[in-house]
């Protein structure tokens, strides 16, 4: 009996998500965030938590709370429901796996506004939001294309879902635009977060002569592996320069606060409508982190030219002509890959070495 | 630089390092299981060693002190399992699983201020005179850091102790037939306590090697399931310390191999390649039991069974 009590105690201790900073002021609008990882994970969730802090600072009369380490699936439903019960007006769920739980809760609370990150299910009171990360990916690719000497660039990739394929393609389009000889090699780790596997993947690239490692996974292990060998790297999620200052050229980063402030302002003003938000660089939701000191002015100037065009809306990384891996023309000159095609992308562009495993779903 | 043989050597020596993360916990669990204690808490002990080893290394700026602290932290956490399964005679599966969950929880809690910190002191490699000159083998196995050499020495010493000394006979007897060894005057509980603690030491060491050398930073859940692989490797090694390195380096090397295939643009699905080590474990177990017609492949007979002197 003792051992079961012990086990149950331990389970209860571990699985109780931590509720942080619950507010008191009744006149303030209460906003909740559901996190899949710890708020200071240095990657994905940290980027969202920075957004939460930005929201508190920039929108007066708002008070925020968050639950971290919330498991995806059924347990999340209880956490979301609790917030709705406690009079929270807006709830943000920041991981794909919170989609169905939020969708279920949203049905029962028509007066609460729900926003889900990276999903595709909406209701009258539930919208989705995400960012066009492929734009910074493309710009980072330009930098890599200029900086590589061995013309071997390694991309450590998590899962073969359209979001990641889009990142690799945009990155490679940038590389190839300035350096036709450079190739982007891809390794799938089949995991969002596994530092050992990520380091192994980076070390494999380095042994094969890679001089730039780009990371699409959540840990800084690939960047540190590159720094150890005196090679360059490109980070993801948030500015990863502090992990490998001699190696990181730049990182592709999220600024969720821009969206959070906008959405909450709309709710306050009563103008909020359920949308499928897919913000770009011009909205400020994504960008490149400050460049490392090794990036030359010439390269910065070229990137700035392209960035200005993206901001002005006169250029998109997926403007034709685009050839696929086998040399087949996929997007004609003068045309552009549609948003629908971008969202379901499952082929590699010219310049990528690697293949896309058939995903199970 | 990029000739085929130098790629092979570089990848293999990386495989030895990443295999060391698995080798230490595997060796520890072999001894704990030989003594009759099944500890499913390897993942928890590893991550406890990973965090506290990292903190100690960070504070003292010395990876070796960090490693020792990581080992001790792992060992102490194993005592929880020892207490429940030996003194309370509880269910070892429940207690081991609880230890894993406890380890993940406690490191999540105490690790908060350390998230995003990195350990910057590089660990030196040493070439072993003579041996390091052997083509390929020397480059791969004898240009390593002290932790890797420690694992070599430990593996051989453990094999010798287990099969060639009286201490080893006692250890095995306790796991095979606790009542008989008790009758022979071997202290069953003291043996089991000690070897469970020993298993924790090595699991903690494996975790500390990860956060001090292989991926030198702290993030929540950094062991990412390596403890479970170590558990499978115990079976792969058929409870023999000398075979443990084969499985550990194979798992370390399979990443390198399948990543190498991917990086060179193969069309074999990566999920199939990822499966290889697990498949091999199954094949070894099946081959050992069927082909060799050996029913007893080293599994301690009373593995997981609590011992009660009063019971008849």
* Domain A11-131, CATH homologous superfamily name and number: Response regulator (3.40.50.2300)
Say if B208 is an interface residue toward chain A (CB within 8 Å).
no
List strand residue ranges (DSSP E) for chain A, in order: 19-20, 29-34, 62-67, 90-93, 113-117, 126-131, 152-157, 183-188, 212-215, 232-237, 248-254, 276-279, 286-288, 322-323, 329-331, 352-353
Say whether A136-253+289-353 and A11-131 share the same fold: yes
The C-alpha of A156 sits at a distance from chain B's nearest C-alpha, in angstroms, of: 10
Dig out the tokens for B219 from the structure: 């993030």
Span A229-278, pLDDT tens digits: 999 999 998 888 888 999 999 999 999 999 999 999 999 999 999 999 99
pLDDT in tens, A307-346: 999 999 999 999 989 999 999 999 999 999 998 899 889 9
Q: Which residues contact A68 (CB under 8 A, 6 or more apart)?
A: A17, A18, A20, A35, A37, A38, A39, A45
Inform me whether the pLDDT recorded for A158 exceeds 50: yes
Q: Is the pLDDT of residue A207 over 60?
A: yes
Residue that has been written with the tokens 């409508």 in this structure: A273
- Report CB contact under 8 Å: A194, B18: no
**Among residues B231, B229, B232, B268, which one has the least CA distance to residue B252?**
B229
Task: Answer whether A358 touches B (CB < 8 Å).
Answer: yes
Model confidence at A119, pLDDT cuts 50, 70, 90, reads confident
Determine the 3-state secondary structure of A272 from DSSP. Answer: coil
Residue-level pLDDT at A44: 87
Classify A136-253+289-353 by CATH class: alpha beta
The answer to whether residue A279 neighbours chain B at the CB level (below 8 Å) is: no
* Residues in CB range of B135: below 8 A, 6 or more apart: none
Predicted confidence at residue B290, as pLDDT, reads 72
User: Is A233 at the interface with chain B, CB within 8 A?
Assistant: no
Burial, B135: exposed, middle or buried (Cβ in 10 Å; 0-12, 13-18, 19+)?
exposed
**Is the pLDDT confidence value at A20 over 60?**
no
Report CB contact under 8 Å: B263, A353.
yes
Average pLDDT over residues A281-294: 94
Half-sphere exposure of A275 (CA within 13 A, CB side): 13
Q: What is the pLDDT of residue B276?
A: 72
Q: Which of A269, A283, A254 is nearest to A59 (CA)?
A: A269
CA dihedral A166→A167→A168→A173, nearest 10 degrees, is: 80
pLDDT along chain B (312 residues), means of 10: 75 91 97 95 97 96 97 97 94 95 93 86 90 90 96 97 95 93 92 97 97 90 88 89 91 81 75 72 73 69 85 65
Note the ipTM here.
0.79
CB contact under 8 A, A219 and B11: no
Interface of B with A in 65-94 (CB under 8 A): 84, 88, 90-91, 94
Question: Rounded to 5 degrees, what are φ and ψ at A278?
Answer: -135, 80
Spatial distance between the Cα atoms of A92 and A31, rounded to a whole number of angstroms: 8
Using CA atoms, how far residue A97 sits from A36, A100, A101, B65, in Å, is 9, 7, 8, 41
- Nearest Cα to Cα of residue A318 among A153, A147, A167, A214: A167
Contact between B105 and A69 using a beta-carbon 8 Å cutoff: no
Residues of chain B in contact with residue A47, where contact means CB-CB under 8 angstroms, are: none
Q: Which of residues 146-205 of B touch A (CB under 8 A)?
A: none
Query: Which of A35-39, A59-63, B11-15 is the most confident on average?
Result: A59-63
Best probe of the B interface among A2, A151, A208, by most B CBs < 10 A, is A208
Q: Report chain A's mean pLDDT, rounded to a whole number.
A: 89
pLDDT for A97 equals: 87
Q: A37 to chain B: which residues are within 8 Å by CB?
A: 220
The per-residue pLDDT for A8 is 55
Q: Does A348 touch chain B (CB under 8 A)?
A: no
What fold, for B4-291?
A: ABC transporter involved in vitamin B12 uptake, BtuC (1.10.3470)
In 3D space, the residue among A133, A171, A174, A137 whose CA is nearest the CA of residue A354 turns out to be A171
- Cβ within 8 Å of B, A 37-66: 37-38, 40-42
A345, A324 contact by CB (below 8 A)? no
Are the Cβ atoms of A13 and B105 closer than 8 angstroms? yes
Residues of B within 8 A of A154 (CB-CB) are 263
The pLDDT of residue A195: 86
Name which of A186, A189, A194, A207 to mutate to probe chain B: the one with the most chain B Cβ atoms within 10 A of its Cβ. A207
CA distance B22 to A316: 46
List the single residue in A6, A200, A209 with the smallest CB-CB distance to B256.
Answer: A200
Residue predicted with more confidence, A219 or B145: B145
The domain segmentation of chain A, as residue ranges, is 11-131, 136-253+289-353
Q: Cβ of B264 and A208 within 8 Å?
A: yes
Residues in chain B: 312
For position B152, what pLDDT does the model report?
96
Residue B280 has what pLDDT? 74
Domain residue extents for chain B: 4-291
Q: Percent of chain A having pLDDT more than 70? A: 92
Q: Is A245 on the interface with B (CB under 8 A)?
A: no
Residues of A in contact with B124 (CB under 8 A): none
B266: Cβ contacts below 8 Å, ≥ 6 apart: A355
Average pLDDT over residues A285-294: 95
């Amino acid at each position: 009996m003792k051992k079961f009590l012990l086990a149950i105690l331990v389970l209860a201790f571990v699985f109780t998500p931590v509720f942080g900073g619950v507010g008191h002021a009744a006149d303030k609008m209460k906003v909740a965030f559901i996190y899949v990882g710890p708020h200071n994970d240095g990657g994905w969730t940290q980027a969202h938590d920075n957004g939460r802090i930005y929201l508190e600072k920039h929108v007066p009369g708002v008070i925020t709370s968050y639950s971290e380490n919330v498991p995806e699936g059924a347990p999340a439903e209880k956490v979301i429901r609790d917030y709705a019960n406690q009079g929270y007006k807006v709830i943000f769920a920041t991981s794909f796996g919170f989609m169905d739980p939020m969708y279920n809760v949203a049905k029962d609370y028509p007066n609460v506004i729900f926003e889900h990150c990276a999903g595709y299910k909406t209701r009258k009171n539930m919208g989705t939001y995400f960012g066009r990360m492929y734009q910074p990916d493309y710009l980072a690719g330009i930098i890599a294309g200029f900086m590589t000497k061995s013309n071997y660039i390694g991309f450590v990739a998590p899962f073969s879902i359209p979001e990641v394929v889009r990142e690799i393609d945009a990155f490679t389009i940038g590389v190839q635009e300035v350096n036709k000889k450079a190739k982007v090699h891809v390794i799938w780790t089949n995991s969002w977060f596994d530092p050992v596997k990520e380091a192994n993947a980076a070390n494999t690239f380095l042994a094969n002569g890679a001089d730039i490692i780009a990371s699409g996974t959540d840990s800084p292990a690939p960047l540190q592996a590159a720094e150890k060998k005196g090679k360059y790297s490109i980070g993801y999620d948030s500015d990863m320069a502090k992990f490998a200052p001699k190696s990181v050229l730049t990182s592709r980063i999220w600024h969720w606060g821009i969206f959070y402030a906008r959405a909450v302002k709309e709710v306050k003003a009563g103008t909020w409508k359920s949308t499928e938000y897919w913000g770009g660089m011009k909205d400020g939701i994504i960008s490149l982190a400050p460049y490392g000191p090794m990036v030359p002015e010439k390269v910065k100037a070229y990137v700035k030219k392209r960035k200005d065009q993206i901001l002005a809306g006169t250029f998109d990384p997926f403007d034709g002509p685009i050839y696929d891996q086998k040399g087949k023309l996929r997007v004609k000159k003068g045309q552009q890959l549609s948003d629908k095609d971008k969202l379901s992308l499952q082929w590699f562009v010219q310049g990528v070495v690697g293949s896309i495993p058939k995903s199970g779903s | 630089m990029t000739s085929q043989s130098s790629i092979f050597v570089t990848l293999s020596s990386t495989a030895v390092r990443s295999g060391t993360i698995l080798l230490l916990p595997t060796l520890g669990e072999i001894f704990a299981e030989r003594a009759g204690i099944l500890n499913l808490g390897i993942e928890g002990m590893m991550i406890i060693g990973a965090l506290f080893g990292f903190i100690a290394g960070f504070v003292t700026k010395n990876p070796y002190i960090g490693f020792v602290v990581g080992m001790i932290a792992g060992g102490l956490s194993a005592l929880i399992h020892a207490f429940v399964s030996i003194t309370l005679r509880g269910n070892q599966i429940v207690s081991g699983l609880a230890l894993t969950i406890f380890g993940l929880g406690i490191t999540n809690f105490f690790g908060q201020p350390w998230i995003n910190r990195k350990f910057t002191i590089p660990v030196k490699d040493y070439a072993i005179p003579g041996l390091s000159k052997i083509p390929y083998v020397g480059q791969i196995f004898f240009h390593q850091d002290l932790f890797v050499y420690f694992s070599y020495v430990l593996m051989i010493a453990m094999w010798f102790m287990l099969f060639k000394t009286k201490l080893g006979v006692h250890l095995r007897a306790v796991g095979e037939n606790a009542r008989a060894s008790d009758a022979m005057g071997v202290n069953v509980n003291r043996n089991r306590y000690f070897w469970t603690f020993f298993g924790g030491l090595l699991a903690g060491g494996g975790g500390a090697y990860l956060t001090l050398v292989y991926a030198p930073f702290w993030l929540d859940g950094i062991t990412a399931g390596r403890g479970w692989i170590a558990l499978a490797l115990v079976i792969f090694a058929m409870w023999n310390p000398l075979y443990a390195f084969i499985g550990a380096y194979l798992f370390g090397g399979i990443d390198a191999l399948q990543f190498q295939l991917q990086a060179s643009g193969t069309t074999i699905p990566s999920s199939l390649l990822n499966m290889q080590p697990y498949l091999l474990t199954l094949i070894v177990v099946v081959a050992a039991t069927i082909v060799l017609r050996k029913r007893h492949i080293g599994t301690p007979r009373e593995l997981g069974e609590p011992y009660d002197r009063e019971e008849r």
